[in-house]
Structure 1
Amino acid sequence: MAFCKINIRDPFLLLLLVAQFSCTDTESAPEIDDTKINFEFQDGFETDNDDFQELFPSDNSRWTTTQIISPNAAQNSLDISMVQASGGYQSLHIQSRKSDGILSKADIEKGGFTAPENSTVIIEADFYIDSDTNIENLFLIDLECCSCWDPSVEADASIDGDNKCPGVRLVMSGGNDYLSIERGKIAGSTLAQITFPFPRKEWVTVRWQMQLSPNDNGTNQLFINGQQALSETAKNLPNAEIFKQVFAENGINFELQEPVAYERVQIGATANPNAEDLEIYVDNFSLSITND
Structure 2
Amino acid sequence: MKRNHYFLFVTILLLFAACDKNEKNIEEPLTAKFLFEDGFETQNNSIDELFPSTGSRWSLIQQTDPSNASNEISITNNEFSEGQNAIRFLAYRSDDQLSKIDIEKGGLNIKSGDKVTIKADFYIDTNESLENLLLIDLECCSCWDPSVGDNFGAENQCPGVRLMMSGGNDYLSIERGKISGTTLKQTNFAFPRNQWVSVVWEMTLSVNEDGLNRLLINGTEVLNQMGMNMPNAKIFRETFANEGIDFTLKEPTIYERVQIGATANPTAGNIELFVDNFSLRVE
Q: Output the TM-score relative to the length of structure 2.
A: 0.87
The one of 125, 129, 148 aligned to 2:143: 148
Name the residue aligned to 2:35: 40
Could you say what the CA RMSD is over the residues aligned between the two structures, in angstroms? Answer: 1.2
The answer to whether residue 63 in structure 2 is matched with residue 68 in structure 1 is yes
Identity in percent: 55
The one of 127, 133, 138 aligned to 1:132: 127
The answer to whether residue 90 in structure 2 is matched with residue 95 in structure 1 is yes
The one of 244, 258, 261 aligned to 1:251: 244
The one of 230, 236, 240 aligned to 2:233: 240
The answer to whether residue 223 in structure 2 is matched with residue 230 in structure 1 is yes
The one of 246, 257, 273 aligned to 2:266: 273
Tell me how far apart the structure 1 counterparts of residues 125 and 253 of structure 2 sit (CA, whole Å). Answer: 37
The structural deviation recorded for 1:113 is 1.4
* SS across alignment from 1:60: coil
Tell me how far apart the structure 2 counterparts of residues 156 and 72 of structure 1 sit (CA, whole Å). Answer: 24
Name the residue aligned to 1:109: 104
Tell me how far apart the structure 2 counterparts of residues 156 and 249 of structure 1 sit (CA, whole Å). Answer: 14
The answer to whether residue 184 in structure 2 is matched with residue 191 in structure 1 is yes
Q: After superposition, where does 1:164-175 map in structure 2 within 5 Å?
A: 164-175=157-168
Q: Output the TM-score relative to the length of structure 1.
A: 0.85
Which protein is richer in strand relative to its size? 1
Provide structure 1 residue ranges, at least 5 long, that are not aligned to the other structure: 1-36
The one of 179, 186, 193 aligned to 1:200: 193
* SS across alignment from 2:149: strand
Provide structure 2 residue ranges, at least 5 long, that are not aligned to the other structure: 1-31
The one of 61, 80, 98 aligned to 1:85: 80
The one of 14, 35, 49 aligned to 1:54: 49
The structural deviation recorded for 1:83 is 1.5
2:129–2:268 contact (8 Å) kept in structure 1:
no
Name the residue aligned to 1:177: 170
Deviation track 1:75-94 (CA, whole Å, cap 9, x = no partner) reads: 10111011200011110100
Name the residue aligned to 2:213: 220
Tell me how far apart the structure 2 counterparts of residues 228 and 274 of structure 1 sit (CA, whole Å). Answer: 26
Alignment coverage as a number of residue pairs: 252
The structural deviation recorded for 1:162 is 4.9
Tell me how far apart the structure 1 counterparts of residues 63 and 256 of structure 2 sit (CA, whole Å). Answer: 19
* SS across alignment from 1:106: strand
The structural deviation recorded for 1:135 is 0.5
Letter in 1 for 2:216: F
Tell me how far apart the structure 2 counterparts of residues 225 and 217 of structure 1 sit (CA, whole Å). Answer: 26
The structural deviation recorded for 1:235 is 0.3
The structural deviation recorded for 1:163 is 3.3
Which protein is richer in helix relative to its size? 2
